[in-house]
Amino acid sequence: MMLPTMVKQKDNGVDFIVLGGGIAGMRAAIELSRGGRVLVLTKDDVYESSTEYAQGGIAAAISEDDEVTLHLHDTLLAGDGLCREEAVRVLVEEGPVQIHQLIDWGMRFDRNGTKLAFTREGAHSRSRILHAHGDSTGSEILRALMARARTIHSIKLLPHTFATELAMEDGKVCGVTYIDAKTSESTHVPARAVLLATGGLGHVYKETTNPSVACGDGMAMAYRAGAILSDMEFVQFHPTALFVKGAPRFLLSEALRGEGAILRNLLLERFMPRYHEAAELAPRDVVARAIIMEMHKTRAECVYLDLTGLNPDHVKKRFPRIFSTCLQYNIDISADLVPIRPAAHYSMGGVATDLMGATSLPGLFAAGEVAATGVHGANRLASNSLLEGLVFGARSATAMLNHHVSTPFPSPKPNPHAETVPVAAAPQAATLPCDPQKAVEEARAILWDNVGIIRDGKHLAGAVRRLTELALAGAPELSRASYEACNILTVAPLIARCALAREESRGAHYRSDFPLKNETHPPRHSYVTKVFPPFFA
């Protein structure tokens, strides 16, 4: 049964709207409060975001033996040729300043005595990962930001409000329509500018480490409004998610391997040295593919993370949340082999932005995982995501305050795949099939099976066809579940279409039919809009 479609107008409006209450959204809201009234909409509790569950830490070159240039080099290397160097420079140069600002606001990082404690993760050349409460870094960052925000009267947080569409006027984003979960009423709020800080898209896949709120909402809304999206094919799969049947794919931080944990296959062989000289600390795409290959070789459902060579007391103290969570499934990580396998974790792509967070639509900005700044390239360096949210959340807010106009974005170019796989015209508004839950389950399975860690053209083409069929139908009901389904079915075919168009292997995008990088031209970013199929520039 369809719910009423009446939209209530909020006459007064606000100056700025922030969609999402994670690190990017809250850092932006604090900055925006200097220029007027800020409304922060979160579709769940204010603390329910990927930031809250971030374990490993936040990377910044502030230790005595580290340098910004080294952090820059490590990030570019992990990005496999596709990072925008100017964006990475912004990240690593402004990151330390933002970290010290957080500390001034009451952020409590772990320390060794009076000095900040650092750890190392994969593909970092220095120990530069700051952490809090062992493995609860994101939660502590969010606590500090929320505490700061609640002292500012011009910031209003509205939990359980699900943004459904961006309001447009004369080609400019001028507000948001949202559903109140308590009343099921739809409300329109005008604003001078809108920031997307809605996080990632992990729940487009059948298996993910992400919280249930990560459904690609911001990307879907921006796409329907006509914004350019970029690099959607680059989805990072975290190598080590807890594999217990019937349990969520709980993330086991890369910091475990940074502290000395090793990976073993079903035969209990340590296998990572066969795949990369850095072994367990190789880039995430390398580790994830190695695990999949070992699973295939041994016909196993998982491999094992082995911490038994580490001091048990250190393990329990350094990783209290991971230790207690695994104990719920009768696994003592200090004494038992931990069953793991990869799961969808992070989107390097998203809504294309410039260096100030401006999108291709005037009045719309994006920061954090929803945005494609070019910082992560083809493969995110561990613990750069929280730093990106912090740095670009602040920069986006500055741009919104100063009425920043976005720099030009690439123009569409002919693509040979545009006619290879029939792609129906993108819906002008949110649409859903007759049985949205069944369609979502099928889409997630298609992404996992055919657009996952190892891909090929035949399966990608089939995925595009079927996902396109699933994405077309009638209007959704006025509910969070209905619009989440719509957003998943909007984003899923975009990942598949961009993956099919990229005929090479680079970073997290690996195609068995094109196992090498395309060296005929410099590395190129992919772009897609609701009007044009994927193109490269």
Average pLDDT, the chain: 91
Beta strands in 117-253 (DSSP E): 118-119, 129-130, 155-158, 161-169, 172-180, 186-190, 193-196, 229-230, 235-242
pLDDT of residue 473: 57
Q: pLDDT exceeding 90 applies to what percent of the chain? A: 80
CATH class of the 413-536 domain in this structure: mainly alpha
Assess whether 284 carries a catalytic annotation. Answer: yes
For residue 164, the SS3 value is strand
- Beta bridge mates, 155: 38
pLDDT in tens, 487-503: 999 999 999 999 999 99
Query: Does residue 7 register a pLDDT over 70?
Result: no
7-9 and 186-190 strand pairing: parallel
Q: Is pLDDT larger for residue 435 or for residue 470?
A: 470
- Banded model confidence at residue 476, pLDDT cuts 50, 70, 90: low
Of 5-19, 100-114, 175-189, where does mean pLDDT reach its minimum? Answer: 5-19
C-alpha separations of 274 from 153, 286, 340 in Å: 57, 11, 19
In this prediction, residue 414 has a pLDDT band, given cuts at 50, 70 and 90, of low
For range 356-366, the mean pLDDT: 98
pLDDT tier at 415, thresholds 50, 70, 90: low
Q: At residue 339, what is the residue type?
A: P
Asked if residue 434 lies in contact with residue 454, where contact means CB atoms within 8 angstroms, the answer is no
Residues 6 or more apart whose CB falls under 8 angstroms from that of 46 comprise 21, 40, 146, 157, 159
308 burial type by CB count under 10 A (0-12 exposed, 13-18 middle, 19+ buried)? middle
Delimiting residues of CATH 3.90.700.10 domain(s) in the chain: 237-343
Inter-axis angle of helices 68-78 and 85-104, nearest 10: 130
pLDDT at 53: 67
- Looking at per-residue pLDDT, the higher value among 34 and 8 belongs to 34
Rg (CA), the chain: 22
**Is residue 122 scored above 90 in pLDDT?**
no
User: What is the phi-psi region of residue 42: left when phi exceeds 0, alpha when psi lies from -120 to 50, beta otherwise?
Assistant: beta
Query: For the CA atoms of 113, 116, 117, 120, what is the dihedral angle to 10 degrees?
Result: -160
Per-residue tokens: 309: 């060579």
* DSSP per-residue string spanning 218-233: HHHHHHHHT--EE-TT
Q: Given this model, what pLDDT does residue 8 score?
A: 64
Question: What is residue 183's predicted lDDT score, i.e. its pLDDT?
Answer: 87
| Model pLDDT for residues 145-177, shown as the tens digit of each residue | 999 999 999 999 999 999 999 999 999 999 999
Task: Give me the mean pLDDT over the 469-482 stretch.
Answer: 75
CA distance 152 to 129: 30
| Backbone torsion region of residue 3, taken as left when φ is above 0, otherwise alpha when ψ lies between -120 and 50, otherwise beta | beta
- Range with the lowest mean pLDDT among 105-109, 299-303, 431-435, 447-451? 431-435
Segment 90-99 shows an average pLDDT of: 98
What is the DSSP secondary structure assignment for residue 205, as one 8-state letter? S
CB distance 125 to 281 below 8 Å:
no
Segments of the chain assigned to CATH 1.20.58.100: 413-536
- 31-65 pLDDT, tens digit per residue, is 999 999 999 999 988 776 777 766 779 999 999 99
Instruction: Say whether pLDDT at 403 is over 80.
Output: yes
Q: Are 376 and 384 in contact (CB under 8 A)?
A: yes
**93, amino acid identity:** E
Give the per-residue pLDDT at 2: 33
Question: What's the token pair of residue 54?
Answer: 């971030």
Q: Are residues 188 and 179 in contact, defined by beta-carbon separation less than 8 angstroms?
A: no
Question: Does domain 237-343 match CATH 3.90.700.10?
Answer: yes
Higher pLDDT, 6 or 480: 480
Q: Which helix (H) or strand (E) holds 94?
A: helix 85-104
Residues whose CB is less than 8 angstroms from the CB of residue 534 and which lie 6 or more positions away in sequence, other chains included: 415, 417, 497, 498, 500, 501, 502, 526, 527, 528
Would you list the DSSP string of 460-477? HHHHHHHHHHHT--BPPP
Token look-up 């396998």 returns: 341
| Residue 10: band (very low, low, confident or very high) from pLDDT cuts 50, 70, 90 | low
Nearest to 272 by CA among 246, 244, 242, 240: 240
**pLDDT of res. 431:** 62
Written as six digits, the tokens of 262 are 């090793």
CA separation for the pair 77, 86 (Å, rounded): 14
Task: Provide φ and ψ at 40, rounded to 5°.
Answer: -105, 120
Alpha-carbon distance values, 57 to 110, 127, 382, 398, 413 (Å):
10, 11, 9, 25, 40
- Rounded to an integer, what is the distance from CA 437 to the centroid of its chain? 23
Take residue 403 and report the two structure tokens written for it: 């009425």
What is the structure's pLDDT at 416?
55
Predicted confidence at residue 3, as pLDDT, reads: 33
Count of Cβ atoms closer than 10 Å to residue 104 Cβ: 10
**pLDDT: which is higher, 420 or 173:** 173
Task: Give me the phi and psi of 418, to 5 degrees please.
Answer: -60, -35
424 pLDDT band (50/70/90 cuts)? very low
Among candidate residues 382, 353, 183, 349, the one with its CA nearest the CA of residue 280: 382
Query: What average pLDDT does range 447-463 have in this prediction?
Result: 97
Which pTM does this prediction carry? 0.92
CA 205, 83, 109, 31 dihedral sign is negative
Is residue 493 classed as helix, strand or coil in its secondary structure? helix
Catalytic residue among 192, 284, 497, 511: 284
Q: Is the pLDDT of residue 351 over 60?
A: yes
Q: How far apart are CA 428 and CA 434, in angstroms?
A: 18
DSSP 412: P
pLDDT value of position 42: 95
Q: Say how many C-beta atoms besides its own lie within 10 A of residue 435's C-beta.
A: 12
Work out the pLDDT band at 9, boundaries 50, 70, 90: low
What tokens appear for 370 in the block?
Answer: 């929803």
Provide the pLDDT for residue 496.
98
Higher-confidence residue of 6 and 323: namely 323
**Beta strand 229-230 pairing with 526-528:** antiparallel
pLDDT at 475: 57
